Amino acid sequence: MAIVQEFVKNAEKDPFFRTLAAVLQRHQIQAFLIGGYVRDLFLGRPCKDIDITVIGDGTRAAQLVADELGVKGEVHIFKNFGTAMFKYQDLDIEFVGARKESYSNLSRKPAVSIGSLADDQNRRDFTINALAISLSKEDFGSLLDPFNGMADLHVGVIRTPLDPLITYSDDPLRMMRAIRFATQLNFNIEPASFQAIRTQKKRIEIISKERIADELNKIILSGQPSVGFKLLRECGLLPLIFPELSALEGVETRQGKSHKDNFFHTLEVLDNLSGLSPDLWLRWAALLHDIAKPSTKRFDPDQGWTFHGHEDKGARMVPGIFRNLKLPMNEKMKYVQKLVLLHLRPIVLAKSEVSDSAVRRLLFEAGDDIDDLMKLCQADVTTKNEYKQKKYRANFELVKQKLVEVEEKDKVRNWQPPVTGELIMQEFNLKPGREIGLIKNAIREAILDGIIPNEYEAAYAFMLERAREIGLTPVNKK
């Protein structure tokens, strides 16, 4: 147990663990490290969340340790659960009184009573999450592993300590957690357990959308998110929690023509993108980029399958999906919406002659999100045809180069029109009204089309010209 030995050795020097052990001993409190921290210790994953199970009162132990550490912030006490939390340096520390849980059918909130360490380990979701390490002086560092979680850690298996049918029915969130851990850790879910998820999937309805979205986000942020979504599909949870994504699955063939399976394509794009960006919301954009393909799908005898307008319709579906999953309805949602809307544009550019004005328009519309948009498009190339792949890559490079050139020249990326509405009103002594919009639009279009440069002088002259055409004369300023 080299890892435990090293942990014990480090703990002697570590201010938190040293103080913790001393306080526990002084007050004769029996306590154990448990759950995610212990699991991650053995996996060599960094972990800043420390969960401690106390035999007896968790809140008193937390208060004593926090006092001894000289914790400045508050110790948050959750009375009805015998739980207390505080922050120390970059650690989140949680003390819980060991407990026994019994579940009713209607909610995932169990009835809780005081229990032993064994009771507390019994209530854990997976064997790898039930590992405990003693913090008592006599046997500091000894491992308590009643369900052989170490063996499961070793071979990479997600298994419930007790009967999986009961474990998942008691708290159906565990089904999402099983799939999330399998994805994050690249573990397998034990077959009996996966079968139990299949059987119990409908129970997911008692879980709040927020908690489901939390787990989805963790899957999306993992190294290979497709693993989780494929498992969700296989066990039948996906249509229950995310019907729009589930609807992407399937291939239809007519007159010998088939379209690709948009579910598996989407997952490939998401995995590709994960290699390019750690950003959660960009990854959401990848997940949703083709979301309107089922509802825009048509068969044309000449062209074959088309999905006209799926980017536009998809962007309009984003708020509903976010609202349903209780994801934030703020600028993050708007960002995802914008990327879905624009996701075809760089590809269209890459496929045709790349004109300055088309590049300028794209820059103008994407603004600061242009680099993310390019990453999304790059990830969207999933063709297995090497010739096509090469061609697209080369064209992308061309578009990227053009973007840089045009931006250097015209600075339209974060564009502020050189002539503002206020200036127009002032020059022609106008009240806010239709004319101002007309002139402003005309100036913007002229700049984007490259008719005039993106400069004040040129825009001012252009304004005078347009104004004259609609019968406006500037007020004499002297």
Q: Which does 174 bind (CB under 5 to 8 A by kind): ligand ATP, Mg ion, none?
A: ligand ATP
Measured from the Cβ of residue 354, the count of other Cβ atoms closer than 10 Å reads: 16
Q: Candidates 171-179, 274-282, 352-360, 406-414 — which segment interacts with ligand ATP by CB under 6 A?
A: 171-179
Among residues 152, 171, 410, 427, which is the contact residue for ligand ATP, using CB under 6 A? 171
At 158, list the tokens: 């997600």
8 A C-beta contact, residue 180 and residue 162: no
**Least distance in Å: CB of 34 to Mg ion?**
10
Within 10-39, the residues that bind ligand ATP by CB under 6 A are 35-36
Q: Which does 171 bind (CB under 5 to 8 A by kind): Mg ion, ligand ATP, none?
A: ligand ATP
Q: Maximum distance among all alpha carbons in the chain? A: 94
Is 58 a binder of ligand ATP (CB under 6 A)? Answer: no
Is 129 a binder of ligand ATP (CB under 6 A)? Answer: yes
Is 36 a binder of Mg ion (CB under 5 A)? Answer: yes
Among residues 6, 14, 49, 455, which is the contact residue for ligand ATP, using CB under 6 A? 49
For Mg ion, the closer of residues 129 and 200 by Cβ is 129
Is 274 a binder of ligand ATP (CB under 6 A)? Answer: no
Name the residue whose CB lies closest to ligand ATP: 36
Is 146 a binder of ligand ATP (CB under 6 A)? Answer: no
Is 173 a binder of ligand ATP (CB under 6 A)? Answer: yes
Q: Which of 151, 148, 117, 114 is nearest to 32 (CA)?
A: 117
Site map (CB under 6 A) of ligand ATP, residues 80-119, x = contact: ----------------------------------------
Among residues 32, 51, 241, 291, which is the contact residue for ligand ATP, using CB under 6 A? 51
Q: How far apart are CA 269 and CA 392, in angstroms?
A: 15
Tokens 């560092």 label which residue?
Answer: 141
Count of residues that interact with ligand ATP, criterion CB under 6 A:
10
Q: How far is CA 358 from CA 297, 345, 364, 365, 415, in A?
A: 27, 9, 10, 11, 15
Is 49 a binder of Mg ion (CB under 5 A)? Answer: yes
Q: Which of 416, 406, 396, 417 is nearest to 360 (CA)?
A: 406
Q: Is 386 buried (19+), middle (13-18) or exposed (0-12) by CB count in 10 A?
A: exposed
Q: Which of 39, 58, 48 is nearest to 133 (CA)?
A: 39
For ligand ATP, the closer of residues 171 and 427 by Cβ is 171
Pairing state of beta strands 91-97 and 49-54?
Answer: parallel
At 61, list the tokens: 């132990």
Within 379-418, the residues that bind ligand ATP by CB under 6 A are none
Q: How far apart are CA 380 and CA 382, in angstroms?
A: 6
Q: How far apart are CA 297 and CA 310, in angstroms?
A: 8
CB burial of 52-76 (b: ≥16 within 10 Å; e: otherwise) equals bbbbeebbbbbbbbbeebebeeebe
Q: Candidates 10-18, 44-52, 141-149, 216-224 — which segment interacts with Mg ion by CB under 5 A?
A: 44-52
For Mg ion, the closer of residues 49 and 397 by Cβ is 49
For ligand ATP, the closer of residues 69 and 221 by Cβ is 221
- The residues binding ligand ATP (CB under 6 A) are 35-36, 49, 51, 124-125, 129, 171, 173-174
- The residues binding Mg ion (CB under 5 A) are 36, 49
